Structure 1
Amino acid sequence: MSEPTGATRRRGPFKVGDQVQLTDPKGRHYTFTLEAGKNYHTHKGAFPHDELIGAPEGTVVRTTGNVPYLALRPLLPDYVLSMPRGAAVIYPKDAGQILAMADIFAGARVVEAGVGSGALSTYLLRAVGDTGTLASYERRQDFADIARGNVERYFGGPHPAWKLTVGDLQDNLVETDVDRVILDMLAPWECLDVAAKALVPGGLVCCYVATTTQMSRTVEALREHGAYTEPQAWETMVRTWHLEGLAVRPDHRMIGHTGFLLTARRMADGVEPPLRQRRPAKGAYGEDFDNDKPTQLSLAERAAARAAAKAATPVIEQD
């Protein structure tokens, strides 16, 4: 049985072409590619690449300045944060949430719009494996070129499950019977119709947006569309801890807001989503709510929804 694509690059002794991550005594990381006969230079001296070729991971090398460096293969989170960028990358904390909450499984058929620098594409390809498919769409040729280079550098060549198309998702999407659609773009609400046509019943759309206004409009567009279940939205924040003897406390810096994630499921054709039963907060659809947006509820529809929610609320008689 053949190894999955890229698996041989993740284990065993270091080989020519492998990515190596060095860690210095202060915990700083440096990444380079092993080449026979080359030297790696630091501000504390140099050492030959040949010293690592054939050595196991976890080896410590010393420079000519007698400074030790720990050598390991970079983990995928390390790789995506250090790779060349065109657009900003999706941070590992959000990529992990997408893989888990969008339920990306081995063999899944996934469509991705907005490739950026290829960070999320790499995560998705590892998750779907050689038996799945990932169709990625990117408007900009320069971003697509950077993303392709980053993905192929990580896997050691082209991935058999990946198809990268330069163009707009709305105009170029040809995939059908898709399990998941991931939208990382400025206006994901513009692609909800083509996503619904491509998704299988029960399939999932996941949107990554940066601002609350984008989040609000995407949610209203999902509700208005009629083919999706009630959307869920959230963000994650990561706080590391300082660990030094008895000085165990949260670090003063953390990875705070990077973006919002929204998910919704594709309903079966011809089935209307159930009316939400919870009562909107007072003023939720006040004067500041833009009534001219075609993706948002009309005043009559909002009034009907509020009336239905009120009627569904049980009345408790008091003695």
Structure 2
Amino acid sequence: MTKIKNNSYVLFFYNDSKKWLNKISKDQSLHTHVGVIKHSDAIGKEYGSRIRTNKDKYVYLLEPTIHDFVMKSQHGTQIVYPKDLGYIAARAGVQSGQKIVEIGTGSGALTTFLASIVKPRGHVYTFDVEPKFMQIAEKNITRAGMIKYVTMENLNIKEAKKMPVTEADMAIIDLGDPWTVIPQVRKMLKGSGAVVSICPTMNQLEKLTIALIENEFTDIECSEHILRTIDAREGKTRHSFYGIGHTTYLAYARKAFFDRKEKK
């Protein structure tokens, strides 16, 4: 039985649109539409229990998952949504112990997710050119308890003379011009290592695919993933009126050798 303590993270859950991720502090209260939630009321209770607000509403005390930390991240940039995260992990075969390179840290949502899979023996090396965004990302990654599995560096991979990582199992690119770093990514990946790029537009996919072929990548796949939620209620189950639409296109490929002279 896991009981909530001071400094524990709790997801206060009222319904799907009213939920709050908080670090418990015995002297604090959370003021919401459903009433005041006293942190002290949660201390000593088991995750899954419920407490009552001053407006006589029940709120459940749920243990946060990586999904919760990702969706409640502070956003300096657009995050990668769970529907895309799951496919990336499955398609690239991400597993514990792997070495992963991320180019474009953003808000750290994807970094957090990948670190949660490769830990405790694996590691994520993430690079970005915007110190302001990296500060936000570091807070998000630390909040989720993943920072010790992540190395963050303010570095422009496009201009790097020496690659900071070699023999990586996977590289993920979240840039507006991902094709410009494919030669560098190739140098950092092991043979058959995977690269995944996040592309908001199809024009980016076209340019990226050309660069992947030129740099000897195979098993190229481009896809879009749509999640449609259902409002399931007795006698009136239907598709939800609201939901996340287009978020991104994903490009996947693997490093191969085309019997050309290896680029230096």
TM-score, normalization by structure 2: 0.92
**Distance of aligned partners of 1:55 and 1:210 in 2 relative to their CA distance in 1, 3 Å threshold:** same
Aligned to 2:211: 221
Matched, 1:110 2:100: yes
Q: Aligned match of 1:243 in 232, 244, 247?
A: 232
User: Which one has the bigger strand percentage?
Assistant: 2
Aligned to 1:207: 197
Matched, 1:16 2:6: yes
Q: Which runs of 4+ in 1 moved over 6 A?
A: none
TM-score, normalization by structure 1: 0.76
Deviation at 1:174, TM superposition (A): 1.3
In structure 2, the gaps of 5 or more residues are none
In structure 1, the gaps of 5 or more residues are 1-10, 273-319
Matched, 1:232 2:232: no
| 1:161 partner amino acid | Y
Aligned to 1:86: 76
Greater C-alpha Rg: 1
Matched, 1:159 2:143: no
Aligned to 1:313: none
Aligned residues of 1:112 and 1:181 also touching (Cα < 8 A): yes
| 1:231 partner amino acid | I
Aligned residues of 1:237 and 1:254 also touching (Cα < 8 A): no
Q: How does 1:1-319 map to 2 (within 5 A)?
A: 12-24=2-14, 28-155=18-145, 159-172=147-160, 173-225=163-215, 227-268=216-257, 270=259
Deviation at 1:14, TM superposition (A): 1.2
| 1:224 partner amino acid | E
The whole-number CA distance in structure 2 between the counterparts of 1:39 and 1:48 is: 4
- 2:147 match: secondary structure: coil
- Cα-to-partner distance string for 1:129-156 (whole Å, 9 max, x where unaligned): 121121100110000000000000110x
The whole-number CA distance in structure 2 between the counterparts of 1:256 and 1:44 is: 29
The whole-number CA distance in structure 1 between the counterparts of 2:16 and 2:144 is: 26
**Distance of aligned partners of 1:45 and 1:260 in 2 relative to their CA distance in 1, 3 Å threshold:** closer
- Relative contact order higher in (CA < 8 Å, ≥ 6 apart): 2
Q: How many residues are treated as equivalent by the alignment? A: 259
- 2:93 match: secondary structure: coil
Aligned residues of 1:205 and 1:264 also touching (Cα < 8 A): yes
The whole-number CA distance in structure 2 between the counterparts of 1:259 and 1:42 is: 33
Aligned residues of 2:36 and 2:54 also touching (Cα < 8 A): yes
The whole-number CA distance in structure 1 between the counterparts of 2:12 and 2:148 is: 30
- Cα-to-partner distance string for 1:27-68 (whole Å, 9 max, x where unaligned): 521222200222232344324312211211111111122221
- Cα-to-partner distance string for 1:263-288 (whole Å, 9 max, x where unaligned): 1111147459xxxxxxxxxxxxxxxx
Aligned residues of 1:236 and 1:256 also touching (Cα < 8 A): no
| 1:166 partner amino acid | N
Deviation at 1:171, TM superposition (A): 3.0
**Distance of aligned partners of 1:25 and 1:237 in 2 relative to their CA distance in 1, 3 Å threshold:** closer
Deviation at 1:214, TM superposition (A): 0.4
| 1:170 partner amino acid | K
The whole-number CA distance in structure 1 between the counterparts of 2:8 and 2:188 is: 38
